[in-house]
Amino acid sequence: MSTDAKQSHTTAHQSSGAQAGEPATDSTLPASTSPPDITLQVRDASSRPVAFGGYADIYSGTWDNGTTEMKVAIKVLRIRALDPGGELLLRQIRRELSVWKRLSHPNIQVLCGRYEGIGPASAMVSPWCQNGDINAYIAARAADPNIETLKFNLVFDILNGLGFLHDHSIVHGDIKGGNILIDDDGTARLCDFGLSRLLAKHSQSITNTTSVKGTFRWMAPELLLDGGHHTYKSDMWAVGCLLLEIWAGLPPYFTADSDQQVLLAMWRKEVPYPTRPVDVDVIVWAQIENCCIFEPTTRPSPGHIVENLRVLRLIIPRVTSLVRRGDPRDADILLLAAVTTSLSFGESKLTDLAAMVDHDFAIEVVRVFLRWSLAIPRDSRLYTNETLYRWCLDNVRHSEAHPLSNPDVSTGEAVEDDDDSLIIPSKLRPFAILLAAVDPSYADVVMLRFARASIGTPICFDAEGRTYPQSVVWFPDCDRIAVGLIGGTVDIFSTSSDATIRRLNGHEDHVMQVAISPDGRLLASCSYDRTIRLWDAETGNAVGEPMLGHTSHVFSVAFSPDGTHIASASKDKTIRIWSCETRDTVVGPLYGHTSSVFSAAYSPDASRIVSGSWDKTIRVWDTQTGACILGPLSGHGSMIFSVAFSPDGLRFVSGSYDKTVRIWDAFSGEPVGEPIEGHRGGVHCVAYSPDGARIASGSWDHTIRISDAATGALIHQPLRGHTHAVVFVAFSPDGRKLVSASHDVTVRIWDATDEWTRWDI
Per-residue pLDDT of 542-600, as tens digits, reads: 999 999 999 999 999 999 999 999 999 999 999 999 999 999 999 989 999 999 999 99
* Stretch among 156-165, 205-214, 702-711, 712-721 having the lowest mean pLDDT: 205-214
With vertex at residue 542, the alpha carbon angle to CA 538 and CA 546, rounded to the nearest 5 degrees, is: 145
Q: Which has the closest alpha carbon to 177: 151, 198, 201, 202?
A: 151
Sequence ranges of the chain with CATH classification 2.130.10.10? 455-756
Average the pLDDT over 426-432 and give the result.
92
Q: What pLDDT does 85 receive?
A: 53
Average the pLDDT over 29-45 and give the result.
79
Q: How many helices (H) and strands (E) does the chain have?
A: 18, 35
Q: Which has the closest alpha carbon to 610: 547, 530, 556?
A: 556
Query: What 8-state DSSP symbol labels residue 636?
Result: -
Q: Which has the closest alpha carbon to 138: 130, 123, 124, 150?
A: 150
pTM: 0.70
Average the pLDDT over 706-723 and give the result.
92
Distance CA 256, CA 715 (A): 51
Question: Model confidence at 34, in pLDDT bands (50, 70, 90)?
Answer: confident
Task: Return the SS3 of 395.
Answer: helix
Cβ-in-10-Å burial (0-12, 13-18, 19+) of 486 comes to buried
Distance CA 346, CA 371 (A): 12
Q: What pLDDT does 8 receive?
A: 38
In terms of pLDDT, which residue wins out, 201 or 280? 280
Average the pLDDT over 515-523 and give the result.
95
What lies within 8 Å, CB to CB, of 750 at 6+ separation is 453, 454, 455, 704, 719, 737, 738, 739, 740
pLDDT tens figures, 38-83: 999 999 999 898 887 666 788 999 999 889 999 999 988 777 655 5
Task: Tell how far CA 357 is from the center of its chain.
Answer: 31
Sheet with 661-665: list strands edge to edge.
640-645, 651-656, 661-665
Structural domain 455-756, CATH architecture: 7 Propeller (2.130)
Q: For the stretch 154-184, what's the b/e string if a residue is b when 16 or more beta carbons lie within 10 angstroms of its beta carbon? A: bbbbbbbbbbbbbbbbbbbbbbbbbbbbbbe
Q: What is the DSSP string of 205-255?
A: GB---TTHHHHHHHS-HHHHHS-----HHHHHHHHHHHHHHHHH---TTTT
In the chain, the amino acid numbered 63 is: W
- % of the chain residues with pLDDT over 70: 86
Q: Which H or E run includes 527?
A: strand 522-527
Cβ atoms within 10 Å of 209's Cβ, excluding its own? 14
What lies within 8 Å, CB to CB, of 667 at 6+ separation is 630, 650
Q: Which H or E run includes 181?
A: strand 180-182
Give how far Cα 327 sits from Cα of 270, 362, 363, 434, Å. 32, 21, 24, 16
